[in-house]
Structure formats: C-alpha cells, structure tokens
A = this chain, B = another copy of it.
C-alpha cells in the first residue's frame, strides 16, 4: 500500500498530470513547531527547472497545509499537505497510453492496473511523487534534529567521476549541512565541475547519466531497531527502494565488505572516555540490525534517467507490434542531484519511524 511506517504512517497520493499530489502524515508527535522556511528549502532542492542540469519544466511545488497544524504546532492528528499540479504539457504524453517507454513503469504498470492507470507523465509512477516525500522528510528531519540527529548526503559517483567518500567515523554537522546548499553536493569541490560536464555531455547526446549517493546519519543512539524482519537496514532499504530509479543499497562498506576478511571487517569496540565506540565503521553503524551508536552510512545506486530523447526500440500495445519511440517533452539528463534531498527525506521518515516505534510519544 501507499502508506509507510509502523508508528508513523506516510500516505502519498496523486498523479503527475492530475489535480494535485500530496501526502498525509499520521502519527507525528503533537506540539512540534515546524520551520516552514526550512521545509520550503528542501522542496526547492528537489524542484526541477532551476538550472541547465535539470529539466526546464518548472513545477510548482507550493504545498498547502490542509490539516494537522494549528496555532504554530503540529496537532498530533493527520497532517495533510496538497501540492497542486500545473505547467503540464499533457499532449506531450498522449502516446504513452500505448507506446511503452523502456526503463519506465509504463508496461509493468499497465499490466498491474489492467490498463486503467493514468499514463500521462507516468501518472502515479512519476518522479513528481517524490515531492510529497520530501515534504514529509523535511518535517521528520526537524524532529530528528531536535534530538541531535543529522542527515547529510553527497554524490559519491556520477557517471565516471568519483568524489571522496565520507569518513566512516563521522562527518561534522557543519559538513553535512553545508552539502545541502550545493547543486552538486560533493566533498571534493573539484569533482562538481567534472560531474556537471558529464551531465551536459549526456544532455547534448540526448542521453542521460546515473550515479551513487552516499548518505550519513549522525547522532543516533545505540539500540534502535529490531533483529530480523525489522532490522534498521530492512526498514531503510524498504523505504529507499520506494524512491524511483534506486536499484541498489549497501550499508557500511557493503559489497566491498565481501572482499575483506573477518579480521579486517570487524569493527573493534573501545571505550572513549566512557563512551562505547568502534575503531573502524565497516558495518555502517549497525550490528545485527540494531544501531551501535556509530554513524549510520549507506549508499544508493541511482540509474541513469530512463527518459532520453534518442529514438528507442519498443512496443505499441495497441497494434501489438514493435515500433520506434522518440520521447517528447523535457527531461532531466541526470536525476542524481535531485534525488539527494529525496534520499535524505526518505531516510528521515524511516528513521523517525524506527525512533518513535522504540520511544513512543516519550520523544
């Protein structure tokens, strides 16, 4: 179902070219004073049309609060936000009813919904549905921040360009926050220009590029999560594969761990002035599905944008014949940078849910 969370419940709705998209946030603690400017800033990070690196569509991502906020605070009852759709070129998408775009959910969705799904702009499968996700995550982030939890991300890989990785033992809050202000958030500033170059090159080739996002969460206490089916990794990965274009996730050293020996991979515990820490953090802050108090680290594989302007082989489900498709409309040559705030938002929501499941309303 389109609801995520055990204690929190995030329900998203809407289609790219429908009346509106939105989210219902259920289970939020009452009495939270939300900084709406900060929420708007997160929305702006995701919004398209800001520069030559993304689509020229300028989506209006202005949200309107319908409920759940009163006298400057959350009420604790469902908070609904609506984002009206606009600037739609629906005619660009007419052929989507029967010409299936490779890499997209056009075909699988058509089968799933018996052909009744809204195909315009990808309908409910559209990346535009990440706007309500960012909205929800921006609120979750503020609640987590009040508890000392900070989430930050950078682009580790984009096409063949590689940024330096996060220090596994933790980055400062200043570093994590500063990344949020950048179009192409990287630690090694020189890589940003190269990444931009790759995006522009792909755009010129009517093509697209993908990348890897690395995300760090600092300030989490030890002891969150559950063994087995509700491991922290299970909860976060469940959420992350909801983000369109994500095709892989790894925690700590992830796949690189498989080349190490146990003696290298194990993170030795030690007391640092009475505080338990690990000397290394190959396990990304999670042991046995439960946080160990070290920074939580994960990386996500984001595939290259499926919408490209080149001619592609595909099928016409009306004629039931093979055909050629040139996708009309305006597309992102790269969505990695726009996915960064989505990933942070999704992480914030999933982690706040784990947190509240453990601590109830005793925030």
Contacts and interface: CB of A to CB of B under 8 A. Distances in A.
Counted per complex, copies of this chain come to 4
A30 interface: yes
A102 B269 contact: yes
Contact of A248 (B159, B202, B250): B250
B242 A210 contact: no
A258 B112 contact: no
A107 to B, nearest CB: 6
A284 B159 CA distance: 20
A11 B2 CA distance: 11
Contact of A67 (B1, B20, B361): B20
A227 to B, nearest CB: 5
B267 A227 contact: no
Interface stretch (A171-179, A187-195, A303-311): A303-311
Contacts of A291: 108
Contacts of A259: 157, 159-160, 210
B14 A26 contact: no
Given A11-B24, A102-B266, A244-B288, A157 B258 contact: yes
Interface in A300-319: 301-308, 310, 312-315
Interface residues of A, number: 155
A100 interface: yes
A343 interface: no
A270 interface: yes
A359 B6 CA distance: 14
A82 B74 CA distance: 20
A222 interface: yes
Interface in A67-105: 67-68, 70-71, 73-80, 82, 100, 102-105
A229 B240 CA distance: 9
10 contacts: A2-B77, A2-B230, A103-B262, A103-B287, A212-B255, A229-B239, A235-B238, A237-B238, A258-B302, A265-B306
Given A21-B67, A103-B265, A263-B312, 17 more contacts: A2-B24, A15-B68, A30-B116, A75-B124, A76-B116, A103-B267, A105-B227, A107-B287, A111-B221, A124-B227, A208-B261, A247-B283, A249-B250, A260-B304, A266-B312, A268-B314, A271-B320
